[in-house]
Structures are given as C-alpha cells and as structure tokens.
C-alpha cells in the first residue's frame, strides 16, 4: 500500500477542492502554458461553445506571432499546439463537429507561418500537423461536410504543401469525401495541372530565378515540374484509396517504371489486387544486370510474385541467388524454412562456406553476427585478419563484444585492427577509444593460452610502443588503465 504522502491523484483528493485550487493557482504563477491549459479546462467545463471561443482566440494569437522558435522552444510550442488540437478533438468535436471542423482547419493553416519561423529539426511539430490531418478527416465525416466544398479545400491545401504538412490529408479525407468527392478532387488536380501548361510564359516573359550549369533557370521550369509532381502524387493517392491499381500505374511515366523502387510500389499493389503475373512483369522491367546493389524490397517483391504464381522452385532458386549476391540473412532464413528436415542443416553449412569466401570480408562478418554464429565469425576473422578495416568501428566494436567471451583470440584481432588504424593514421579524436580497446585486449590476454597465428599481447604492446612512442596523447590515456 502506497504511503499517504505519495504523490498521486488519490492522495491529492484528500486535500480538498479549495486547497487544490489554491495550489494550482500558486503553481501556475509565471507559467503561461499552465495558465492556458487551465483556461482551456475551465472553458471545456462550460460547454463546447466556450471551449471553441478559447481555442479560436489562441489559434489566432499563434498565427500573429513573429518570434523565431529555435530548437529549445520547439517543445513548448508543440505542447501548446497539442493542447489546442486535443481540445478540438476531445471536447468540441463530440458536441459540435461543424464548429470543430472549422477550428481544425484553422489549426492546419498555422503550419506554414509556424515552419517559416521555427527550427523543427526533431520533426516534433510536423507530427502535430499530420495528426491534425487525420483528425480533420474524422471530424469532416462526423460533420457531414459538403463533399464538393471539402474537395475544393483539400485541393487548395495540397497545392501549397511546402513543408509536407498536408502529406496525409488526401488519405485521411477519403472517407468523408466518398466516391463523388474523390472524383471531384481528381478532376480539380487534373485541371490545376493543365493550367500550368496553358499559362506557360514564353520569351521575355519567362522569369529567371537562378543560374545553373546549363544557363538560366526559369520559374516555369522549376515550379512547373513541381506542380506536375504534386498532381501525379495526389492522383496516385486518390487511386490508392479507391483501390484503382491501373489509375495508380498510369501516373508513372514508362521511364520511371524501370526504377527498382517504383517497380516495387507497382508490383505490391498488383499483388494485393490478385494480379501476380502483371506484378512479376512490372518487376522484370527493371534491369538488374551489372548492378552491385539491388534493393532488398525488389528482391522480396519478386519472390512474393513467384510464390503467388505457385512457382515455388523458381522462388527458392531466386532466394539463393539473392543470398549469394548480398549475404542477406533474411533471404537465407526464408530459403531454409522451405526445405525438408535435415536438408536445411546441409544448406546452412553450404551458406556458411560460401560466406567464408565472400569477396567483402566485412559483409561476411555482418552476416555471421546477424545470424548469429560467433564461431563462424571467429573463423572468418582469424583467416582473413589482414583484410579487416579498423576504421569501421561501427562494425568492429560490436564484433569484438560478440566474440570476447568464447573467442578471445578473434576478439583480440578485431580490437587490434581498430587500435592499429587509429595510431597508424594518428586519429587523435579516437585515442581514448584505442586506449580502451588496448585495456580490453589486456583483459582478454589473461584467458588466452595459445595466440595461434598472432603475437602475444606483451609482444604486441612492445611493438606498439616501438612504432608509436611519440604519440603522447595516446599513451597518457593508456596509463590510467594500468597497462
């Protein structure tokens, strides 16, 4: 049972309403954010109309503000925005959805002026506006907003989406727009796209907004292409919510359909629509010959298409081929799961043998660590130690940790690779890490009876002192470790 002095809601109730009110007033002194929260709560207790009045007033105040919001003030602004958004959604919308819709649209209109005067490197502010888009969709449906007018509002908003604040808007508004509203929205975007081409300036009327390697950059070239892209993305989103795969595909020019990730987007939609044969054809338009890196998503989509076509043997062959190209453990796991009992063990041994000879030793090491197979990783490190790049500390550090307990010689090799790189290249910023690695090597040496093909720790340390005796910054860091 919690003590009576523990700070929780139940214990605070014992203070009584009068004392709690006095404490809240005292605590809120000097805190504008707390006072705004209290005013919102009071307004909400008097009904949605009063709450709406307070929210409208606060949104107008935020819109008028001109002070720059740096990263230190972003959290406070986000808290303020969230308080207003939640008041609209939780208090006003259930009682008066039409009023709430007007307020949530007023809220969304704050995005551009806020981003113009703020530093949202953390992405905290954009999250509030994306959530407001989703809220707006639910409120619009509850308010039974006229679909023609709603389509107009959505189209206008998306046209001016410079900060990505309206990215989820079309999808969020789909239920409220319904089929008629979505068709109108599509028509509006098509018309807007045509306007740019019809009004395209010529000759001296073309405004130069910059200079590139090929000469002047004209406004219509820059913003016209941006408008085309906006229209294409909008119509694709409409096609998605309507479940119209062909309309989605039609928005992709033939040239871009050969891009791996575009082909994946198309194929995934065709697979969902039960059209695996077309999905495979879309994927096979991508020219993968000579590519050193083929996106995993493309490989996965192709496997799924083959499986959907009941071409299991081809799918298995393709999984193995993909594994051989990339050592991606997910391909191998998927391959092994489909083999009969005991065959999977033989195939795993074959995969390990292949990985041991893979041209990129670091890629092979990543594979063995992810599998995980510390024994195979240790074998790789010991056999191909001269290939290890000590600069890859993001890989080497976890590798040393994974090998330390059962494979101390291999862990020592990895640690020495990082130490040698740091000292050979005089990376003084890494001296403290190299000193720590040397201390770890000292600790591991106590558990090593046979160093195998590498010199003992004492011999390595002596050689290190001989080669780098002038690197005083490093040795000053070594001494505290007692080496």
Per the CB < 8 A criterion, the answer to whether 390 and 422 are in contact is yes
Q: What is the pTM of this model?
A: 0.76
**Mean pLDDT, to the nearest integer, of 130-134?**
98
More confident residue, 236 or 214: 236
Reply yes or no on whether the pLDDT at 200 is more than 80.
no
Per the CB < 8 A criterion, the answer to whether 429 and 423 are in contact is no
**Residue 446: which of 412, 396, 395 has the closest Cα?**
412
Q: How confident is the model at residue 178 (pLDDT cuts 50, 70, 90)?
A: very high
Q: State the Cα–Cα distance between residues 455 and 382, nearest whole angstrom.
A: 13
Q: How confident is the model at residue 290 (pLDDT cuts 50, 70, 90)?
A: low
pLDDT at 223: 45
Reply yes or no on whether the pLDDT at 369 is more than 70.
yes
pLDDT at 48: 77
Of 137-141, 191-195, 350-354, 384-388, give the lowest mean pLDDT range.
191-195
Q: How confident is the model at residue 222 (pLDDT cuts 50, 70, 90)?
A: very low
DSSP assignment of 373-413:
-HHHHHHHHHHTGGG--TT-HHHHHHHHHHHHTT-HHHHHH
pLDDT at 24: 60
Reply yes or no on whether the pLDDT at 36 is more than 70.
no
Of 30-34, 62-66, 116-120, give the lowest mean pLDDT range.
30-34
Reply yes or no on whether the pLDDT at 40 is more than 90.
no
More confident residue, 210 or 344: 344
Per the CB < 8 A criterion, the answer to whether 248 and 270 are in contact is no
More confident residue, 200 or 63: 63
**Mean pLDDT, to the nearest integer, of 143-152?**
97
**Mean pLDDT, to the nearest integer, of 322-343?**
95
Q: State the Cα–Cα distance between residues 385 and 79, nearest whole angstrom.
A: 53
Per the CB < 8 A criterion, the answer to whether 395 and 366 are in contact is yes
Reply yes or no on whether the pLDDT at 8 is more than 80.
no
Within 10 angstroms of residue 127's Cβ, the number of other Cβ atoms is 14
Reply yes or no on whether the pLDDT at 13 is more than 50.
yes
Per the CB < 8 A criterion, the answer to whether 344 and 336 are in contact is yes
pLDDT at 428: 96
pLDDT at 331: 97
Phi, psi of 209, deg, nearest 5? -115, 5
Reply yes or no on whether the pLDDT at 206 is more than 70.
no
The CA-atom distances, in angstroms, between 246 and each of 236, 281, 395 are: 10, 14, 44
pLDDT at 12: 64
Q: Give the model confidence (pLDDT) of 455-475 as tens digits.
A: 999 999 999 999 999 999 999
Q: Give the model confidence (pLDDT) of 109-128 as tens digits.
A: 999 999 999 988 889 999 99
Of 46-60, 76-90, 418-432, give the lowest mean pLDDT range.
46-60
pLDDT at 209: 44
Reply yes or no on whether the pLDDT at 339 is more than 70.
yes
Of 23-32, 327-336, 363-372, give the lowest mean pLDDT range.
23-32
Reply yes or no on whether the pLDDT at 304 is more than 90.
yes
pLDDT at 175: 97
């Amino acid at each position: 049972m919690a003590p009576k002095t523990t700070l929780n809601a139940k214990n605070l109730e014992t203070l009584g309403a009068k004392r709690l009110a006095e404490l809240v007033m005292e605590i809120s002194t000097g805190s504008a954010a707390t006072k705004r929260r209290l005013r919102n709560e009071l307004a909400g207790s008097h009904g949605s109309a009063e709450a709406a009045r307070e929210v409208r007033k606060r949104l107008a105040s935020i819109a008028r503000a001109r002070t720059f919001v740096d990263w230190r003030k972003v959290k406070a602004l986000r808290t303020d925005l969230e308080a207003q958004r939640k008041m609209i959604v939780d208090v006003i919308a259930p009682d008066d959805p039409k009023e709430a819709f007007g307020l949530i649209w007023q809220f969304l209109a704050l995005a551009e002026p806020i981003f113009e005067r703020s530093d949202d490197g953390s992405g905290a502010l954009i999250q509030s506006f994306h959530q407001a888009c989703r809220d707006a969709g639910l409120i619009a449906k509850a308010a039974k907003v006229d679909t023609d007018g709603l389509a107009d509002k959505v189209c206008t908003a998306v046209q001016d989406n410079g900060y990505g604040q309206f990215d989820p808007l079309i999808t969020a508004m789909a239920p409220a727009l319904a089929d008629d509203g979505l068709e109108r929205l599509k028509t509006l975007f098509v018309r807007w796209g045509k306007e740019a081409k019809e009004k395209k300036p010529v000759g001296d009327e073309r405004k130069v907004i910059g200079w590139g390697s090929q000469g002047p950059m004209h406004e219509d070239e820059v913003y016209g292409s941006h408008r085309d892209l906006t229209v294409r993305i909008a119509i694709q989103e409409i096609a998605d919510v309507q479940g119209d795969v062909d309309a989605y595909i039609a928005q992709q020019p033939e040239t871009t359909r050969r891009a791996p990730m575009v082909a994946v987007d198309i194929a995934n939609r065709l697979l969902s629509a039960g059209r695996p044969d077309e999905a495979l054809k879309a994927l096979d338009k991508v020219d993968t010959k000579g590519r050193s890196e083929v996106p995993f998503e493309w490989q996965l989509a192709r496997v799924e298409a083959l499986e959907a076509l009941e071409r299991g043997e081809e799918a298995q062959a393709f999984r193995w081929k993909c594994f051989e190209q990339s050592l991606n453990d997910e391909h191998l796991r998927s391959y092994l799961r489909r083999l009969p009992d005991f065959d999977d063990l033989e195939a795993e041994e074959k995969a390990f043998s292949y990985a041991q000879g893979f041209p990129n030793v670091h890629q092979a090491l990543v594979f063995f660590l992810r599998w995980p197979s510390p024994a195979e990783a240790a074998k790789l490190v010991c056999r191909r130690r001269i290939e290890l790049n000590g600069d890859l500390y993001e890989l080497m550090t976890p590798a040393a940790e994974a090998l330390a307990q059962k494979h101390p010689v291999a862990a020592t090799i990895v640690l020495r690779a990082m130490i040698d790189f740091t000292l050979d290249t005089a990376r003084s910023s890494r001296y403290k890490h190299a000193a720590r690695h040397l201390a770890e090597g000292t600790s591991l040496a106590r558990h090593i009876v046979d160093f195998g093909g590498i010199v003992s720790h004492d011999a390595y340390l002596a050689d290190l002192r001989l080669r780098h005796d002038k690197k005083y910054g490093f040795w000053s860091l070594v001494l505290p470790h007692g080496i």
